[in-house]
Structure 1
Amino acid sequence: MEYNSDMLFDLPSDDVLYDALVARDDRYDGQAFVCVHSTGIFCRLTCPARKPLRENCTFRPTVGECMEAGFRPCKRCHPVKAAAQNEPAIIDLLARLDAQPQRRWSEQDVADLGYDLSTVRRAFKRHFGMTFLEMARQRRLREGFETLAVGGSVMTAQLDASFESPSAFRAAFAKLLGCAPADLKSDGAMRATWIPTALGDMIAISSASHLHLLEFVDRKGLPAELRKMQANTPGGLGIGRFAPAEQAEAELADYFAAKSARFETPLFMHGTDFFKRVWTALQTIPAGETRSYGDIARQIGQPTAVRAVARANGSNQIALMIPCHRVIGADGSLTGYAGGLWRKQRLIEIERALKTKTAA
């Protein structure tokens, strides 16, 4: 099946989108924007402003199309920015976390800054799929991981990560990465690399020649994936950098800076022949476009294998570079994504902005 390179996945009807606007339903947030003819502005579907009348609304799939039609961005929901950037508490706490990555944050620390704990908790869960305290703990683990990666001892890594006891550090490390810190050797034939990104930290596993895994560290299935890879790698996984991971980090930096969606890092796919066919098909979806599971099934010549395609999509171990986030529901809604629906939405927004920028 051939696709028009300018095609975006069909959105549901304007009536469905208007109902989502009234309900502030986030299923289509970032997939569509409402243009209000009576005011000349455009908004996210989750905008908190008073809802316009149905006859004053039209819907467009990208920020660029709204602006080209002469509409101005709303000053309440800021549709041209990432949604998380609209909340002062998030902006402030993330800045504090960047300034003090080793700080052991507590709920009392957050309350002492004048924030309501339940409000902050809900905001971080909504935008990042984790609480601020969970994010801060993950950041401390990154500090310990990077100490190990440059040859530091487990004790030094524990202190750099600001854990009070070796057992607490080992337990937190194993919960996140599926193995104890001492199990990651510096001379492994396959090595783990921690890659910070604008949408959360990622773990890359690479050999000297190929990237084998790239996942967000908060993916629930990551520890099991790493344990399996550890068991199947002679000598076990190591820690450190190979050229494919370094190339991946550089390409991801360009991607999140909206400079390029081109990935040329050599990949090694672990899966059945069917899964590999699906993953190869995913790589043909241009950035800024989406497909349904049915589209992919037809593309690989097995139109009835929609559920099998969905399983293959969910089993992808190389996020972003094999773009399983570009597959959405047949009705245009966001569907399950192991990295979190909030992240899937933001990835689609980044790519649509990049497509608009490239076209301009």
Structure 2
Amino acid sequence: MKKALTFQEKYDASGRKDSFYEGVFITAVKTTGIFCRPSCRARKPKIENVVFYDTAQEALQNGFRPCKLCKPMEKMDETPEYIKNIIKELHENSYLRIRDGSLRQRGIEPSHIRRWFKKHHNTTFHSYQRMLRINTAFNSIKQGKTITNSAFDSGYDSLSGFNDSYRSIFGDSATHFDEKSVINIIRLTTPIGAMFACASDQGICLLEFTDRRMLDTEFKDLCKRLNAVILPGTNPHLEHVQAELSEYFSGKRKKFTVPLDTPGTDFQQSVWKILQNIVFGETQSYKQQAIAINNAQAIRAVASANGNNRVSIIIPCHRVIGSNGHLVGYGGGVHRKKWLLDFEKSNSKEP
């Protein structure tokens, strides 16, 4: 397996304030008694004053206290509680429109929430609300309600305003609702970074780290394959996956049961099925995967199918390593791959 990061590599990463190494190590400073995330924006300490730990718990046990700036005891990019409450409120009442005045009445600075949604959802707060309303209206129409009733029930003041919003998202009028489907998306946080989870009516169709390269390409490809648009919202599969991921990261779950919806070629499906058969805490090589599908020469094709997997962790492509035992490419980052493998190995033994 690929060797661990050296002291110098960790020091250089912390100097770059690199969030890519979140969950990989903790930086503790002997002169201040404080420990930080790799991405902390505090001034870079002198190398002779630094000690590295694998976890925040180890730093605490050695007498260091958490940094108040980067808050290493909290999950990276955790959604602030006040935003969680607003998102919950909007999901429960799509008719609601939260404008700047309403935010100020709640003691919330509108610019703060605007920046947060732009950074973490790549959309404006008001666009997020509009997409939720359209999603509610779409589901209402699909259930048999009229377009007019669905529009007004979802908080639109006029039918023309609803039609313009609907067309801007779906590319057609609401009368053609049966020609498209909706993929619901949520953002969740884990010990090694934030993730997007997407689900159709059939199951989870995407689970990726939010900083994954080519994520936009994955979104577009998924929409094309399922003839759908991605909108904020929830469904039973997203609630299911959040519960199972929480159990997984607490070391209580080794196998997932949430339904999946993974469009792909027959070959890709066969590779993804083999991936799901790799036991928690164990690894396979691409060659072993190729042999398992009775095509020992298809190593490169197998590697490509692994790379096209959109459902991280649940379809565990992180459990595939090189024939020489080294870690190889992983969409979420090789260091996350190492973290997952180390985590599973340490939790693989039955109590």
Please say if 1:76 is aligned against 2:69: yes
State the partner residue of 1:167.
163
- The change in CA–CA distance for 1:333 and 1:44 in structure 2 (over 3 A counts) is farther
- Choose 1 or 2 for highest CA Rg: 2
Distance 1:203 1:333 in 2: 28
State the partner residue of 2:231.
none
CA RMSD of aligned residues (A): 5.2
Distance 1:34 1:58 in 2: 6
**Gapped regions of structure 2 (runs ≥ 5):** 190-195, 229-233, 291-295
Listed one character per residue, the Cα deviations across residues 231-278 of structure 1 (whole Å, up to 9, x for unaligned) are 9xxxxxxxxx9xxx8567434323246564631245565434543354
State the partner residue of 2:293.
none
- The change in CA–CA distance for 1:84 and 1:248 in structure 2 (over 3 A counts) is closer
- How much has 1:22 moved relative to structure 2? 1.8
- How much has 1:44 moved relative to structure 2? 0.7
Which of 35, 41, 48 does residue 55 from structure 1 map onto? Answer: 48
State the partner residue of 1:238.
none
State the partner residue of 1:225.
222
- How much has 1:64 moved relative to structure 2? 4.6
- The change in CA–CA distance for 1:145 and 1:15 in structure 2 (over 3 A counts) is farther
Distance 2:155 2:130 in 1: 9
State the partner residue of 1:250.
240
1:273-312 maps to which residues of 2 (within 5 A)? 274-276=267-269, 278-280=271-273, 282-283=275-276, 297-300=286-289, 311-312=304-305
Which of 256, 264, 269 does residue 271 from structure 1 map onto? Answer: 264
Specify the code of the residue in structure 1 equivalent to 2:14: L
**1:213 aligns to what SS in structure 2?**
strand
TM-score by length of 1: 0.61
Distance 1:115 1:157 in 2: 32
Specify the code of the residue in structure 2 equivalent to 1:253: A
**Larger relative contact order, structure 1 or 2 (CA cutoff 8 Å, min sep 6):** 1
Q: How many residues align?
A: 316
Distance 1:72 1:303 in 2: 53
**1:159 aligns to what SS in structure 2?**
helix
- The change in CA–CA distance for 1:18 and 1:276 in structure 2 (over 3 A counts) is same
Please say if 1:92 is aligned against 2:82: yes
Specify the code of the residue in structure 1 equivalent to 2:129: A
Distance 1:35 1:256 in 2: 28
TM-score by length of 2: 0.63
Distance 2:307 2:148 in 1: 37
- The change in CA–CA distance for 1:345 and 1:204 in structure 2 (over 3 A counts) is farther
- How much has 1:94 moved relative to structure 2? 4.0
Listed one character per residue, the Cα deviations across residues 124-180 of structure 1 (whole Å, up to 9, x for unaligned) are 4444444434433343344334434654444343334434523234224426xxx86
- The change in CA–CA distance for 1:96 and 1:299 in structure 2 (over 3 A counts) is same
- How much has 1:81 moved relative to structure 2? 1.2
Specify the code of the residue in structure 2 equivalent to 1:81: E
| Aligned residues of 1:197 and 1:252 also touching (Cα < 8 A) | no
